[in-house]
Amino acid sequence: MRPSTLDVTELDEASRTLDALIRQLGDVHLIILNAGVGRLNPNLNWKLEEEIIRTNVLGFTALACVATKYFEQQGEGRLVGTSSISALRGSRHATSYAASKAYISNYLEGLNQRFVHAQLPIVATDVQPGLVDTPMSRQLPRRFWVATPQKAAEQILDAAEKRRRQVYITHRWASVAWLCKRIPRSLYLRM
């Protein structure tokens, strides 16, 4: 393995770097896109919103395009994108973050539809973590069911190996997702 760094907010350079790394490594079968930022932003500070959108939407998309084209050319592969449990509903405290994660989930679903229609053995896995013990989650006033980065990584790799299209990290967050999807909008808006 060769270490390589890139700044996903430098879209063209990041795309070229990932493409070059893939070509250098040769036979790549798994790409995990895990760059992202999130901030509580109840005052809708534009600079924070812009950083989130540039990283989580534009940066993700630029790299997902590179990975998708490579896997389609190769004829197989596994692409993993890190979304969030926040993708399921909007958030008054982190509006762009929740929206950006919903974008990632929908983008990955669109890629899976693309792969099925092309009859290609490529799978895009939408990883929706609850809370992982990172600096980003430590800004939250309350935390529960916090996974270690190691446990999250193990479950993400397991989902990729099993070619799952969607997974909650840790798995118990599936119950929170189930509940989030069923809360009536009229009630959710008042929460």
Percentage with pLDDT > 90 across the chain = 74
With tokens 């896109």, the residue in question is 33
Domain 11-188 fold: Rossmann fold (3.40.50)
Better-predicted residue by pLDDT, 176 or 68: 68
Q: Is the pLDDT of residue 123 over 90?
A: yes
Using 50, 70 and 90 to split pLDDT, how confident is the model at 127?
Answer: very high
Q: What letters, b where the CB count within 10 A reaches 16 and e where it falls short, cover 35-46?
A: ebbbbebeeeee
Interval 22-59: pLDDT, tens: 999 989 999 999 989 998 899 999 999 999 999 999 99
Q: What letters, b where the CB count within 10 A reaches 16 and e where it falls short, cover 59-74?
A: bbbbbbebbbebbbee
Q: What angle separates helix 60-74 from helix 95-117, to the nearest 10 degrees?
A: 10
Q: What is the pLDDT of residue 146?
A: 81
Q: Structure pTM?
A: 0.90
Q: Is the pLDDT of residue 3 over 80?
A: no
> What residue segments make up the domains of the chain, in order of their start?
11-188
Q: What is the pLDDT of residue 2?
A: 64
Q: Is the pLDDT of residue 160 over 70?
A: yes
- Whole-number average pLDDT of the chain: 92
Distance CA 48, CA 38 (A): 9
Q: Decide: 157 and 171 in contact? Cβ < 8 Å.
A: no
Q: Read off the pLDDT of each residue in 81-108 and give the average, rounded to a whole number.
A: 96
